[in-house]
Amino acid sequence: NFHGSQPENIIDEMELLQKNIVDESEELPWESINPILRVRGPVASGYGRGGKKLGVPTANLPASLFQSALEEVQTGVYFGWAVIEQQQQRSQFKKGRNMPLKAVVNVGYSPTFEGKENKEKIVEAHLITDASPMDTSVVLLNNNDDGGGDDGEVAESSISSSSSPSSSSFSLDGDAYTGEIEGDFYNETMRLQLIGFLRPEQKFDSFPELIAQIHRDIGTASFALGSMPFVFSKEDEFISGCSGEDG
């Protein structure tokens, strides 16, 4: 299923908060999107490239479900909230199911793998956990430039690629789940709500440059989703109302 409608109140509140919190929005390494994009479908095995070559496992949604809807969607790297649905009894509950998960998502043709673009636009999501490699230096530079927070404290606690931005004073993560996601969840139903845009798709001159950019994408996405206004979007019914049942 593909949804491009904007949920009641969420977008208006996000845009108002964005204006109130940050006047220099053009300096942020992300931008909000309106309408938000919401997709739902069974996780496919995909190409397996994210986990094997990059150390960043991805969950792919079948391209056949969304081709017509994705035609007008700009290719690039997005971020938002995800849910892996589960309908089983509580005694069989798997970790990381039916709860909001941070996600960084590529929509497009993945042109950086040996010059072999996908024939169709695909949706590849990395679900961000405590084990995700991330580099938050880009967002921290922006915050330091704006004079927010304690520069020394932030630089020490969050600028390394292995630390989580949830430890910084800017984060409002709340009940976002960042622990282990049990199993590979192939064929399980996943919901994705994309609310922000990081950058267009691009080719890189070297494999290390690609990996470094992916780590920055993960760090920036995680930071943004733990901050206002994006942290509130997980309260949308599409994400918060998931109980493993069709809806």
- Going residue by residue through the chain, which has 247 residues, state the pLDDT in tens, using 9 for 90 and above: 555 444 444 444 444 444 444 444 457 899 999 889 999 999 986 545 556 677 888 888 877 887 777 888 899 999 999 999 987 665 677 888 999 999 999 998 877 655 566 777 889 999 999 999 999 888 766 666 544 444 433 333 333 333 333 333 334 455 678 888 888 788 899 999 999 999 999 888 888 998 999 999 999 999 999 998 899 999 999 998 875 444 3
116 vs 100: CA distance, rounded Å: 33
Residues 206, 207, 208, 209, CA torsion sign: positive
Angle at the Cα of 158 (from 153 to 159), degrees rounded to 5?
105
Contacts of residue 23, defined as CB under 8 A and 6 or more positions apart, other chains included, come to: none
Identify the CA nearest to 40 among candidates 149, 191, 236. Answer: 191
Q: Which helix (H) or strand (E) holds 157?
A: helix 151-158
Is residue 15 among the annotated active site residues?
no
pLDDT of the residue at 165:
35
Of the candidates 82, 92, 94, which has an alpha carbon nearest to the alpha carbon of residue 58? 82
Catalytic residue among 15, 27, 124, 237: 124
CB-count exposure of residue 244 (10 Å: 0-12, 13-18, 19+): middle
> Minimal CA–CA distance to 86: which of 215, 244, 194?
244
**What pTM value is reported for the model?**
0.77
CA distances from 200 to 31, 110, 180 (A): 12, 11, 29
Find residue 108's DSSP bridge partners. 122
Q: Are 181 and 242 in contact (CB under 8 A)?
A: no
